[in-house]
Amino acid sequence: MSATTTRASAPSTARGPASTPMSRMTALARAEMTLLGRNKGTLFAALFVPLVLPFSLRSASEQMDLAGAGLTVGTLILPAAIGFSLLFAVYSALVGVFVVRREELVLKRLRTGELRDGEILAGAAMPAVLSGLVQSVLLAVGCAALLDLGAPSAVHLSILGLLLGLVLCTALAAVTASFTRTGESAQVTPLPFMFVTMFGSGTVLPLELLPDRLASVCELLPLTPVITLVRGGWTGDLTGAETLGAVATAVAWTVLAVFAVRRRFRWEPRH
Amino acid sequence: MIEVTDLRRVYGGGFEAVRGIDFSVRRGEVFALLGTNGAGKTSTVELLEGLAAPAGGRVRVLGHDPYTERAAVRPRTGVMLQEGGFPSELTVAETARMWAGCVSGARPPAEVLALVGLESKLGTRVKQLSGGQRRRLDLALALLGDPEVLFLDEPSTGLDAEGRRDTWELVSALRDGGTTVLLTTHYLEEAENLADRLAIMHEGRIAVTGTPAEVTAAQPSHISFELPAGYFVGDLPPLASLGVDGHEVHDRTVRLRTRELQRAATGLLVWAGQAGVELRRLDVRSASLEEAFLSIAKEVSASPAGPPADGTASRTKKEYAA
User: What is the tens place of the pLDDT at every residue in B76-85?
Assistant: 999 999 887 8
Report the distance separating Cα B155 and Cα B160, nearest Å: 12
User: Exposed e or buried b for every residue in A173-197, given b needs 16+ CB within 10 A?
Assistant: bbbbbbebeeeeebbebbeebbebb
- Residues whose CB falls within 8 Å of the CB of residue B72, separated by 6 or more in sequence, listed in order: B62, B64
- In chain B, which segments carry CATH 3.30.70.980? 221-285
Q: By the CB < 8 Å criterion, does B96 face chain A? A: no
CB B218 within 8 A of CB B68: no
Q: Measure CA B141 to chain center.
A: 22
Note the pLDDT of residue B158.
Answer: 83
Element (H, E) at B202: strand B197-202
- Write out pLDDT tens, residues B22-76: 999 999 999 999 988 888 999 999 999 999 999 999 999 999 999 999 999 999 9
10 Å Cβ neighbour count for A18? Answer: 12
Global pTM value:
0.85
CA distance B213 to chain A (A): 26
Strand order in the sheet with B2-10: B16-25, B2-10, B56-61
Span A92-120, mean pLDDT? 94
Q: Is B260 exposed, middle or buried (0-12, 13-18, 19+ CB in 10 A)?
A: middle
CB B31 within 8 A of CB B23: yes
Element (H, E) at A244: helix A240-264
Both ends of chain B: CA-CA distance in Å? 40
Strand order in the sheet with B149-153: B77-80, B149-153, B180-185, B30-35, B197-202, B205-210
User: Exposed e or buried b for every residue in A51-63, given b needs 16+ CB within 10 A?
Assistant: bebbeebeeeeee
Contact B170 A14 (CB under 8 A): no
How is domain B2-216 classified at the architecture level of CATH? 3-Layer(aba) Sandwich (3.40)
Strand order in the sheet with B244-250: B244-250, B253-258, B221-226, B280-285
Confidence band for B301, pLDDT divided at 50, 70 and 90: low
Closest partner residue to A114 among B74, B86, B173, by Cβ?
A: B74
Best CA proximity match to B3, nearest among B48, B70, B42: B48
Element (H, E) at B246: strand B244-250
Tell me the sheet residues that pair with B257.
B222, B246
Best CA proximity match to B1, nearest among B151, B149, B223: B149
In this model, does residue A3 exceed pLDDT 60?
A: no
- Write out pLDDT tens, residues A171-185: 999 999 999 999 999
Element (H, E) at B148: none
In this model, does residue B304 exceed pLDDT 70?
A: no
How many residues in total does chain A contain?
Answer: 271
Coil/strand/helix, residue B254 = strand
- Residues whose CB falls within 8 Å of the CB of residue B32, separated by 6 or more in sequence, listed in order: B182, B183, B184, B185, B190, B191, B194, B195, B197, B198, B199
- Write out pLDDT tens, residues B129-173: 998 899 999 999 999 999 999 999 999 888 888 889 999 999 999
Domain B221-285: CATH superfamily, name plus number: YebC, transcriptional regulation domain (3.30.70.980)
Q: By the CB < 8 Å criterion, does A110 face chain B? A: yes
Mutate to test the interface with A, among B1, B43, B88, B98 (most CBs of A within 10 A): B98
Q: Is B158 exposed, middle or buried (0-12, 13-18, 19+ CB in 10 A)?
A: middle
Element (H, E) at A118: helix A117-146
Contacts of A31 in chain B (CB under 8 A): 87, 90, 94-95, 97-98
